[in-house]
Amino acid sequence: MKEQLQEIWRTFRRKPMGMLGTFMLFSVVFIAIFAPWFAPYDPDAIIHVEPEDLLAPPDAEHLLGRDDAGKDVLSQLIYGARVSLTVGFVASFMAMFIGTTVGLVAGYYGGRIGNALMRLVDFLLVIPDLPLMLVFISIWGRGLWKIILVIGLLGWTTTARLVRSQVLSLKERQFVLRAKAIGASNFRTIMRHIFPQVLPIILAETVLSISGAIIAESSLSFLGLGDPMLVSWGMMLNFAFERAISRMAWWFLLPPGFAIVWVSVGLVLMGSTLEEIVNPRLKTHHLFDPGRMLELFKVASPGLKRPEVTE
Amino acid sequence: MATLDVRHLSVSYLTDEGVALNAAEDISFQVDQGKSLGIVGESGCGKTTVMLALLRLLPEAGRIMEGQVLLDGEDLLQCSEAEMRNLRWSKISIVFQGAMNALNPVRTIESQIVEVLRIHGVEGQSQRARVRAGELLELVGIPPERGRQYPHQYSGGMRQRAMIAMALACNPRVLIADEPTTALDVMIQAQILNLLRKLQKSLNLALIIVTHDLGVVAEICDDVLVMYSGTVVETGSSDAIFNHPRHPYTERLLQAFPDIESPNADLVSIPGNPPRLDELPPGCRFAPRCHIAEERCHIEVPKPIEIEHRHWCACHLYTGRRE
Amino acid sequence: MQQSDFLIRKISFALATIVAVIIFNFFLFRVLPGDPIKAIARSPRLTREAREKLRIDFGLDKPVFFDVLRLKEGDVIGAFDSQFTSYVKALLHGNLGISFRSRRAVAEVLKERVWRTVVLVAGGETLALVFGIALGLVSAWRRGTRLDMTILLWSLFSWGLPTFFLGIILLILARGYLPVGGMVVPGLRPSDGWEYWIDVGKHLILPTITMAIVYTSSYVMIMRSTAVEVLSEDYILTAKAKGLSTFRIMRDHALKNAMLPIVTMVALNLGYTVGGAIQVETVFSWPGIGQLMYKSVMLRDYPVLQGTFLLLAVSVILANLMADLLYSVMDPRVRAE
């Protein structure tokens, strides 16, 4: 399995779009981790502000200006990365874990369990995401872990479907039948033989879903359901929209959103490239199939037949 | 005058890097009205490419490098695209290989035939067009009521016949059948061939049959053109080709065909493979696999020589004989 | 007939899902920690009479699912006189409860606002479909050209763009040129006739464009990849051989086949469209169901929240069902499944 991953990395390295995405993502991760070194100010520090400091436009000392409380926007943006990224990663790993388990069980055992699980997936898929999340949070209350849970608990369905269909096709393959013939337990068969084959696809899908999770968190926070103690990019947008929109303080309104876009686009590029490497014929995503989009950057696609004009 | 007169047609494909791969070189042949020509050759030898070129339907990467395609004296390669659109199907039509996907799966058979009738002005009124479509289906042995069904509801053989009906809708001068029997089982193959022969006679069509199956050619073709790796290797009447082939490739091809009269004879195959388009040999393209190749064959491309009346062969065996 | 099998399957799934949503909806609000109804009913801010009335109004004096005691007594019917059955009964009568805030019937509030969201969503989806399909086709036909790449790059970018943020951007850009909030200028009323409706229309522009932009990219992507596939199919070559013009080929052969995945996509997107509507209505203060949901969350108006969720979920389920049916009409092969 290690070699498989190495092989994937080697192929990935040669794809410019994938590498660009990786750079886009990791630059932000790096900045987030080393926030205290990058942020010019500490967003939690108490500061003394004059009235003209409130919603001050950008200047030399505050590259992105100041918010409605006089605090430096850039610093908040940098520290905000920590929250947004954390929620995104954790929620999506949770979804990956649940989805993989469900998919493995449903695919491997099949029968009534499998059907029941898939009905559950269908059910969850049909229910609109954001309203459901709104309802959950409004009843359970706000908080970091609640948001992570809510996003994670609703985001596993795609992975589950993916994993299940892979398992179904792998189940009948030789090496699985052989393993069972020599008496390997089901669990062992799954873990040692099936799971490694499915892992690359799960990885690709997870990368893509992280961007979905980040956007989901930002939407929830924007709508006022984020953790009030932690300032994520979504929360910044919530504050900005409520307090700065009338003054058109674009320096407060726009940067967090663009940060979200930057990270999402990076993740999508990475994820699509991975997906293409791991299984180019796969149709996975809710919204669209990013793998197909990468055809653009692929060589050798079937020629388009057009009315011929003789030269 | 021959209905279809193809002269020195050459087709290439452009690779992504801009290199031109020569898929068909110096192809010449003629088909008279009421006669049938069989174009034979291994898969990939360029037969379909030539046919697509005739209709100017090459894919994006395809280029017609030179030549003339004279249909009733008019050079198709000189027409504008608009003129070509008019001529397609009305003067020359084609039945594609394995009509599996050649018919639109979400439209009824009838509507697809009616479409051609109306586009080319054969039948303007939809009611009359539908009736005519029904007649055409009957002509190929399909009950007209089935016209309102969809392609997936037809068997393979029926789809092929439906395609033939559609191809004849506008009374073309020339009908091309590209691998009409491939992917069909033997019984159906016979049906299709009989149908084609019958139609050709009754409608006085100029028929071109493209196939890799010599048996098909022997059944219904008046003339034969043997292609190898994009070039015409030998061409003549069926009689001539089958009874006294001249080209080493044609001979081997015929030998490779199992002979029912000597069931125990060893199956002869031709060792090696046709050359890749990006690795074409300088001389005769068959030379690397030819058992009687000489030095000259590897250097100089043999030009077609008329050995007997209307029997041409492109081989250095005969090159010297020209005056 | 085979088509009816397909229909029956899809309809029963939709019905089962709706039932599940109803149960789920009830369960969510009554049984989870922080049961809102109970909390409100116990709120010390209410007078005793008000509290009692609330308890009876909301049936809080009854057991949640069924009465074990009554069951033991053998009174099976009576045992089911529970909050749940009251809820279902009320639902069947179109009663979705009473808003905590406004004391109006939830159903009434919803009815008032529904058309505003429908107009927004319908407008946005239609625009998105038209542009998505057109751009997708263009992209596929002109594959590899700069136009194609631009379209694709834009789609990539807008995929990472949260809907509400796009709304904010457009709001900033359009400020001064187009109305950016609310549905109508204060003072105008429907009785003012044309003037009123034109003003509504003006207020509708920005939110609709926002919705449209978000969903265009997914349609462009799907259309493009489907069109690319379709255009390389054999029957397209046949169509060309028949002498059809490019336009005719696109319209009569490619389009119908390429549309099939779009229908699926619209269905899949419906859940997201609703989420998008919530965001857009909030940003532009468009007084539709989405904004209502947002407000009810902020104000802890649980009956409204519950009612809105039910409405949205059921709408999406039904819309999905219609999409399935539409697909089966468009693709004759499916009917034979």
Closest chain B C-alpha to A292 CA, distance in angstroms: 20
How does residue A284 score in pLDDT terms, banded at 50, 70 and 90?
A: very low
What's the average model confidence in pLDDT over B267-271? 72
Which of the pair, C11 or B97, is modelled with greater confidence?
A: C11
Closest CB to A307: pick one of B64, B77, B81.
Answer: B81
Which of the pair, B150 or B43, is modelled with greater confidence?
A: B150
Are residues A304 and B60, on separate chains, in Cβ contact within 8 Å? yes
Question: What DSSP string describes C193-228?
Answer: THHHHHHHHHHHHHHHHHHHHHHHHHHHHHHHHHHH
Cα separation, C228 vs C246, whole angstroms = 14
Contacts of A266 (CB under 8 A, 6+ apart): A20, A21, A22, A23, A24, A25, A28
pLDDT at B173: 92
Q: What is the mean pLDDT of chain A?
A: 80
Q: Would the pLDDT of A303 be above 50?
A: no
Model's pTM, two decimal places? 0.73
Counting every residue, how long is chain C? 337
Q: What is the mean pLDDT of chain B?
A: 86
Closest chain C C-alpha to B122 CA, distance in angstroms: 13
Question: What DSSP string describes B150-211?
Answer: -GGGS-HHHHHHHHHHHHHTT--SEEEEESTTTTS-HHHHHHHHHHHHHHHHHHT-EEEEEE
Counting every residue, how long is chain A? 311
Which of the pair, C234 or A263, is modelled with greater confidence?
A: A263
Cβ burial of B27 (10 Å; 0-12, 13-18, 19+) is buried
Cα separation, A133 vs A139, whole angstroms = 10
- Determine the residue among A17, A20, A135 to mutate to test chain C binding: the one whose Cβ has the most chain C Cβ atoms within 10 Å: A135
pLDDT at B305: 85
- For helices A129-140 and C289-298, angle between their N-to-C axes, nearest 10 degrees: 20
Report CA-CA distances (Å) from B253 to B215, B220, B235, B246, B269: 11, 18, 14, 12, 8
* A48: contact with B, CB 8 A cutoff: no
Give me the percent of chain B exceeding a pLDDT of 90. Answer: 32
Q: Which residue of A has its CA nearest to B13?
A: A303
Least confident of A177-181, A229-233, C305-309: A177-181
Cα separation, B47 vs B235, whole angstroms = 14
- E strand residue ranges, chain C: none
Contacts of C101 (CB under 8 A, 6+ apart): C299, C301, C304
- E strand residue ranges, B32-178: 36-40, 62-71, 74-75, 92-95, 174-178
Per-residue pLDDT 10s for chain C (337 aa) are: 456 777 888 888 888 888 888 888 877 766 555 555 555 555 566 666 776 676 666 666 666 665 566 666 666 665 556 667 777 777 777 777 777 777 788 888 888 899 999 999 999 999 999 998 888 888 887 777 788 888 878 888 887 889 999 999 998 888 877 777 777 777 777 777 788 888 888 888 999 999 999 888 888 888 888 888 888 888 888 999 998 988 888 888 888 788 877 877 787 788 788 889 999 999 998 999 999 999 888 887 888 888 899 999 998 888 888 888 887 777 777 655 4
pLDDT at A293: 35
pLDDT at C217: 83
What's the average model confidence in pLDDT over A243-247? 78
Q: What phi and psi, each to the nearest 5 degrees, are found at residue B67?
A: 125, 175
Per the CB < 8 A criterion, the answer to whether C287 and C113 are in contact is yes
Closest chain C C-alpha to B101 CA, distance in angstroms: 5
How does residue A115 score in pLDDT terms, banded at 50, 70 and 90?
A: confident
What's the average model confidence in pLDDT over A238-246? 84
Closest chain A C-alpha to C78 CA, distance in angstroms: 30
pLDDT at B279: 82
pLDDT at A1: 67
Are residues B101 and C257, on separate chains, in Cβ contact within 8 Å? no
Q: Would the pLDDT of A19 be above 80?
A: yes
Q: Which residue of B has its CA nearest to A307?
A: B57
* A299: contact with B, CB 8 A cutoff: yes
Per the CB < 8 A criterion, the answer to whether C259 and C326 are in contact is no
pLDDT at B8: 92
Closest CB to B60: pick one of A299, A306, A311.
Answer: A306
